[in-house]
Amino acid sequence: MAFQFEILKKDAFSKARLGRIETDHGSFSTPAFLPVGTQGTVKSLTPEELVEVGVEVILGNTYHLYLRPGCETIRRLGGLHSFIHWERPILTDSGGYQVFSLAKLRKISEEGVTFQSHIDGSLHFLTPEKVVEIQGILGSDIAMVLDECIPYPSPYEYAKASTLLTTQWAKRSLERRRETNPALFAIVQGGTYQDLREESVQALVKMDFQGYAIGGVSVGEPKSLMLNVLEWTTPFLPENAPRYLMGVGTPEDILNAVMLGIDLFDCVLPTRNARNGMLFTSIGKISIKQAQYAEDERPVDETCACYTCRHYSRAYLRHLYLANEILSSRLNTIHNIYYYMNFIGGIQEAIQEGRLLDFQKTHCSRPSGLEPEVSAHRLTTWG
């Protein structure tokens, strides 16, 4: 397993870094945004379309793939890359978040977690070791350790015990990792408590992980608390390992986190919003179903060069949405992912050229920067 992270440039005025991650399935630039391929497909798109909009790496949900079609099936079919016809890198999550948000009758113990499938009610028992193995079987390039995602709000004592468990699980995950396994990232927890976050990150960085994720954010807490968590955590993370902020977020969230030193992001926001007719544009979000677009000949975004904006009017996209046509989800998803890729590409370029502060000024003075205070995408978009 080849995994390397190289920092190509550091921003002089923030903690932002431009980097490159190397895997067995090729390399990708950081900061990176990973579209979510929940059930073995980034909803509505083909791999070729993802490549066309500039996607270099995607996320797969271990929980979903483990339950259906099953990891042994995927192994027999040549691994996840081959199964879904995606040749570039894949990061898989641990399934922890879905076990805690989707599964029925969840029961957690020191050993692991027992849960009932949300699909057929079948009973499953996952341990940190098994989760590492599953991701190895899938053929993931970057695997995540099993963690417990602490809800917001949670009492201190609960958060403390849970954080300790996640740390113990991380240690066990590391022990199970084999030479041939994917790169393994730990997940910092600790809820919204500074001392727990610090304990968590300090314990984890003592172990030998290839990367570090910050979990348990974007679960309904105020946005200011998310920034606090980043400020408490990132100073303790090693410079030379990639940092991943899970489940985040809006373009503004991403930019803020990049400036605090984060390298990786995933979120269902662009894809889920697309299917709901919410489109990102350079002058703010629009809801394509609105009557004002009924005869609007303009593309979604006049500055956008995506397939959707090159060929279709807002009026047509509105029509497709109202008529409940599959093509609506496709064209909207292409546009929104292109928007995100273009945004993250703009961040990369700005770091390279030493003008990230200018980039921030331009992009956060626009209405698109005015996002709701609570980042609710985690709550509404999984599954």
Q: Please state the closest distance from residue 344 (CB atom) to its own copies, in A.
A: 24
**CB nearer its own copies, residue 66 or residue 185:** 66
Query: What letters, b where the CB count within 10 A reaches 16 and e where it falls short, cover 358-370?
Result: ebbeebeeeebbe
Q: Please state the closest distance from residue 283 (CB atom) to its own copies, in A.
A: 22
Q: Which residues ranging from 5 to 64 are in contact with its own copies (CB under 8 A)? A: 39-41, 43-46, 64
Q: Which residues ranging from 296 to 315 are in contact with its own copies (CB under 8 A)? A: 297, 311-313, 315
Counting Cβ atoms within 10 Å, is residue 178 exposed (0-12), middle (13-18) or buried (19+)? exposed
Distances (CA, A) of 250 to 131, 272, 300, 340: 29, 12, 18, 9
DSSP conformational letter for 182:
P
383 binds its own copies, rule: CB under 8 A: no
Binding mask 85-124 for its own copies (x = CB under 8 A): x---------------------------------------
Q: Please state the closest distance from residue 81 (CB atom) to its own copies, in A.
A: 12
Q: Please state the closest distance from residue 122 (CB atom) to its own copies, in A.
A: 15
339 binds its own copies, rule: CB under 8 A: no
Q: Are strands 90-92 and 142-144 parallel, antiparallel or unpaired?
A: parallel
| Contact (CB, 8 A) for 378 and 247 | yes
Residue selected from 4, 73, 290, 303 as contacting its own copies according to rule CB under 8 A: 73
Q: Please state the closest distance from residue 149 (CB atom) to its own copies, in A.
A: 23
Residue selected from 17, 330, 335, 377 as contacting its own copies according to rule CB under 8 A: 330
Number of residues that bind its own copies (CB under 8 A): 35
In the chain, DSSP finds a helix count (H) and a strand count (E) of 16, 17
In this structure, the number of other CB atoms found within 10 A of the CB of residue 141 comes to 26
SS3 333: helix
316 binds its own copies, rule: CB under 8 A: yes
Q: Are strands 243-245 and 36-37 parallel, antiparallel or unpaired?
A: unpaired
Longest dimension (CA), the chain: 61
Q: Give contact residues for its own copies (rule: CB under 8 A).
A: 39-41, 43-46, 64, 68-69, 73, 76-78, 83-85, 294-295, 297, 311-313, 315-316, 318-320, 322-323, 325-327, 329-330
